């Protein structure tokens, strides 16, 4: 019964997520450059988001999966352009002057 209620994949995904959160803590426990820290955070955050999307949200299991991937891909594109575009005009461009 326990085996049936706690599928191995889900348990592994959960442990993996917790481990990634602990790895992300490295950026405040160890002395490192800004670039290195941001790199670690990007990798751990994107990996965790992928676990949620692919494993827990079952994005790839229905027949319209291509529509879902396109939709989420487009939303992420809009999000990245919003954030980087804002930084480009409000922060990075300003500092050059």
Partner 1 sequence: MKVDETLPLEYSTEENQLKILGFWIFLGAEIALFSTLFAVYFTLENRFGTGPSAQEIFHMPPVMIETILLLTSSFTIGLGIHAMRLGLKKAMMAFFVITLVLGLGFLGVEIYEFVTYVNEGATIQTSAFLSSLMTLLGTHGLHVTFGLFWGTAILLQVRKRGLTPETANKSFIFSLYWHFLDVVWIFIFSFVYLKGLMVL
DSSP secondary structure code for residue 6 in this structure? S
For the window 38-67, what string marks contact with partner 1 as x by the rule CB under 8 A? x--x--xx--xx--xx-xxxxx--x-x--x
Asked if 31 is part of the footprint of partner 1 (rule: CB under 8 A), the reply reads yes
Asked if 91 is part of the footprint of partner 1 (rule: CB under 8 A), the reply reads yes
Instruction: Give least dist CB 96 to partner 1, A.
Output: 16
* CA–CA gap between residue 88 and residue 82 (Å, rounded): 10
As given in the structure block, the two tokens for residue 5 are: 């209620």
Please pick, from the candidates 34, 66, 96, 97, the single residue that binds partner 1 as defined by CB under 8 A: 34
Residue 68 half-sphere exposure toward CB, CA atoms < 13 A: 11
Instruction: Give least dist CB 90 to partner 1, A.
Output: 5
Contact 48, 21 (CB under 8 A): yes
């Amino acid at each position: 019964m326990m085996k049936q209620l706690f599928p191995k994949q889900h348990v592994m995904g959960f442990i993996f997520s917790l481990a990634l959160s602990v790895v992300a803590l490295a950026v405040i426990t160890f002395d490192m450059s800004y670039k290195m820290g941001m790199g670690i955070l990007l990798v751990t955050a994107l990996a965790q988001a992928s676990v949620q999307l692919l494993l827990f949200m079952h994005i790839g299991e229905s027949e319209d999966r291509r529509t879902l991937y396109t939709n989420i891909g487009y939303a992420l594109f809009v999000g990245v352009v919003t954030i980087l575009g804002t930084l480009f005009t409000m922060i990075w461009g300003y500092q050059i002057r």
